Structure 1
Amino acid sequence: MLTIYRDEAGSVRESASLELPSEVIWIDLFDPTDEEKVFVESRTHIQVPTIEALSEIEASSRLQVNRGVIYLSTPILGRSDTPEAFLSPVGFILSPTVLVTVRFVKLSTFDQVAEQIHHDPSLATNVGVFTALLEAIVDRGADVLEGLRGELDQISRKVFRGNPSHRSHTVRSTDALRMTLSAVGAIGERVSQARDVLLGVGRIASFARDIGEGWITPEFRVRLRAVLKDVTSLNEYEAHLSGKVQFLLDAVLGYITIEQNNLFKVLTIASVVGIPPTLIAGLYGMNFKFMPELDWAWGYPFGLALILVSAIIPLIWFKWRGWF
């Protein structure tokens, strides 16, 4: 889909001229077709990158300058407010006269800036739109990190609060711990995705500010500098969340290990307690002719009592040692 901003009359699409009118400041390509790419390239005289080119991870591919035009790309979170969040590449092509964006997923930040264009005087230029997009992405990243912090706090309360000595403490059950481990791992993945977005935004903001020094006004240079400061602070906050994620992962794994040890403890006690009775029963099960207990009137009760005592004594010893 091709959207041209500050071209309400649609003159650009209808005109046969290969030059863009001065009022056009932003061309947004959303999952563009080949025809739309050719149209934009013919009007702007720039090359629209493919999704493969935008997905390159090396800095030389994400930050380029060609004939005074700045080519930038960074991953952006799609469905950022859901557990199914994913990274999708976004391209920014910034020239002294127009901004071209290329994306392949619906983004609320782009819709937000598109709505602001109609009533915000600061978005009267292509650099203003570019700066507003970066600010919206950073604000959205902050909201995502705050939401993840809330989810981590909720998990932390479930894991660490309550009396773990009560067997009714279901939060410490194996199934609950397994689900908690999956939830913490998913949050860790989303924190990692947010870090990739913030690092990408920081790189392109710094690069654009330095390369476009000749035609980016001081007002927007100051705003780009503020974007960089916000990215720095959010990176520190993200590092804090990453540490908390790792702490919760270690804690949950520790509880799982404790549950497994408790299971092994029960099996160990049962096996040790069962050894003496088995030994006694095996002793009196031997078919020797001369066994004095065979002639006793109370031989059978004596054997049963001996088996019972041999089982109770290890239990008393384990209780004294505090095993259960």
Structure 2
Amino acid sequence: MINLHGPQGAVDVSGLDGGAALPAHAVWIDLVDPTAEEARRVEEKTGIRVPSRAALSEVELSSRLRRSRDGISLSTPMVTFDRSDFSLKPLGFLLNKNHLVTVRYHDMRAFAAVRKRVDEEGGDGSTGARMFLLVVEELVDNLADLLEEMSADLDNLSTRIFDFDASARPGARKGDTSAPKRRDLALRRLLRTVGRHGKSLSKVRASLLGLERIVAFAKGECGQHLDEGDAPRFETLARDIASLDEFETRLSETLQFLLDATLGLINVEQNNAFRILTVVSVVGVPPTLVASMYGMNFKHMPELDWVYGYPYGLALIAISAIVPLLYFKSKGWL
């Protein structure tokens, strides 16, 4: 699909189905999952070869930042901004003095915002470089909003981790044997949540790194064609991206801290389990000793002739089990 925009707003594309040439006043050509025919028409219009999706997905720097005779080709991975399907997809920019061509494979609210800005709010899209600035500025704004949402999510996650006490949930009965299972399930959920946030932050980091590179490259390559006021916008963009990169780094450090805290909670739960096993094993030793002692087959054992010898043995076994329990309880192990 082809979307066209000129300095005054959207350009009608209804008459382009028959293979007509693209209008001369179209500055921004937005290709959404383009067909081979659409790519050919854009190449005829701008003189810049439209890369394939595989070419836009290349990871080496020489493939993402290229200079040709007719313009520059830039590509970067960009997050989808959809939290239900958070993934990275390629985004391409083809730029020369008169045109900006964007190549994308998913809907992005940043592009809709730029169209509205040009159509209704008088955004300056008179040149390819200025249209490029509008698009990248909106992408940076969206990434900033996304990082703010992630920061709020990490705050909530921090509260969940450091207030974690599944056994004290409302409605839980004292001595409820399902409490360990609930704690285990809650910790698993926390760990999965931390993992999802880490995965999302890594995708945002890749998007910021890609934007940082293409902004610097575009400014260097288009410097002689920039009008007064364009160069400061490039510098502002670079500073904004750098500040977002620092913010993302702090969020990553916070996430690592929360991961360590979650693993610490898991270790505490494991230690509790081992502590219970230790108490059980220690409590079982004295009764076993008493039972084994009175189970010896010697002929002369005074207790064999006692009327209350059997109750005495049972009482001794019970006392030898209760005393360690009371001791561990006084030490706070139970």
What is residue 304 of structure 2 aligned with on the other side? Answer: 294
Counterpart Cα distance in 1 of 2:293 and 2:234:
88
8 A Cα contact 1:117 1:124, kept in partner:
no
8 A Cα contact 1:81 1:144, kept in partner:
no
User: Per the alignment, do residues 15 and 161 of structure 1 end up closer, same or farther by CA in structure 2, a change over 3 Å counting?
Assistant: closer
Counterpart Cα distance in 1 of 2:167 and 2:28:
62
Counterpart Cα distance in 2 of 1:257 and 1:86:
32
Where do 1:39-78 residues align within 5 Å? 39-78=41-80
What is residue 153 of structure 1 aligned with on the other side? Answer: 155
SS for the counterpart of 2:26 is: coil
1:270 and 2:280 correspond: yes
Letter in 1 for 2:229: E
CA offsets per residue over residues 167-186 of structure 1, 9 Å max, x none?
Answer: 41589922212111111111
Equivalent of residue 316 in structure 1, options 313, 326, 329: 326
Moved over 4 A (4+): 9-17, 169-172
SS for the counterpart of 2:49 is: coil
8 A Cα contact 2:2 2:34, kept in partner:
yes
8 A Cα contact 1:277 1:308, kept in partner:
yes
Letter in 1 for 2:27: I
8 A Cα contact 2:47 2:70, kept in partner:
no
Counterpart Cα distance in 2 of 1:311 and 1:75:
66
Equivalent of residue 305 in structure 1, options 315, 318, 323: 315
What is residue 94 of structure 1 aligned with on the other side? Answer: 95
Counterpart Cα distance in 2 of 1:284 and 1:225:
89
SS for the counterpart of 2:83 is: coil
Counterpart Cα distance in 2 of 1:237 and 1:107:
23
Counterpart Cα distance in 1 of 2:302 and 2:248:
79
Give the TM-score normalised by structure 2: 0.89
Deviation at 1:21, TM superposition (A): 4.7
CA offsets per residue over residues 201-249 of structure 1, 9 Å max, x none?
Answer: 1111111111101112132221111111100111111111000000000
SS for the counterpart of 1:74 is: strand
8 A Cα contact 2:78 2:91, kept in partner:
yes
- Unmatched runs of 5 consecutive residues or more in structure 2: 171-178
Where do 1:4-19 residues align within 5 Å? 4-6=4-6, 7-8=11-12
8 A Cα contact 1:113 1:136, kept in partner:
yes
Identity %: 44
1:168 and 2:168 correspond: yes
Letter in 2 for 1:5: H
> What is the RMSD computed on CA atoms of the aligned residues?
2.2
Counterpart Cα distance in 2 of 1:25 and 1:71:
16
Counterpart Cα distance in 2 of 1:290 and 1:108:
94
What is residue 2 of structure 1 aligned with on the other side? Answer: 2
Deviation at 1:8, TM superposition (A): 2.5
User: Per the alignment, do residues 313 and 26 of structure 1 end up closer, same or farther by CA in structure 2, a change over 3 Å counting?
Assistant: same
Give the TM-score normalised by structure 1: 0.92
Deviation at 1:68, TM superposition (A): 4.1
Counterpart Cα distance in 2 of 1:11 and 1:296:
113
Letter in 2 for 1:93: L
What is residue 26 of structure 2 aligned with on the other side? Answer: 24
Counterpart Cα distance in 2 of 1:130 and 1:199:
17
Where do 1:182-261 residues align within 5 Å? 182-261=192-271
Letter in 2 for 1:87: L
Deviation at 1:261, TM superposition (A): 0.3
8 A Cα contact 2:77 2:91, kept in partner:
yes
1:34 and 2:44 correspond: no
What is residue 188 of structure 2 aligned with on the other side? Answer: 178
SS for the counterpart of 1:206 is: helix
Deviation at 1:312, TM superposition (A): 1.9
8 A Cα contact 1:28 1:100, kept in partner:
yes
Deviation at 1:29, TM superposition (A): 0.9
CA offsets per residue over residues 79-104 of structure 1, 9 Å max, x none?
Answer: x1414210001000001111111111
Counterpart Cα distance in 1 of 2:193 and 2:209:
25
8 A Cα contact 1:209 1:221, kept in partner:
yes
Letter in 2 for 1:113: V
